[in-house]
Amino acid sequence: MKALVVYDSVFGNTGKIAQAVGAALGAPVVRVGDVQAEQLSGLELLVVGSPTRQFNATPAMMAWLNGLA
């Protein structure tokens, strides 16, 4: 299964969780600002993680999610 874990982190805790999820899945883990379009091609599973601020994901994560086709 082709999977990818995309995350954003403010204090590093979400990054640690993303690394653990990626290790369990055997999937690459990429910070939201470093995702390349070709990494999304052919995915069967996309895991997205972000801390919440006022019940929303971080602005960087929201911008990335809103930009997905």
- DSSP state string for the chain: --EEEEE--SSSHHHHHHHHHHHHHT--EEEGGG--GGGGTT-SEEEEE---BTTB--HHHHHHHHH--
The 10s digit of each residue's pLDDT in 2-60 is 999 999 999 999 999 999 999 999 999 999 999 999 999 999 999 999 999 889 999 99
Of 69 and 38, the one with more pLDDT: 38
- pTM for the full model? 0.94
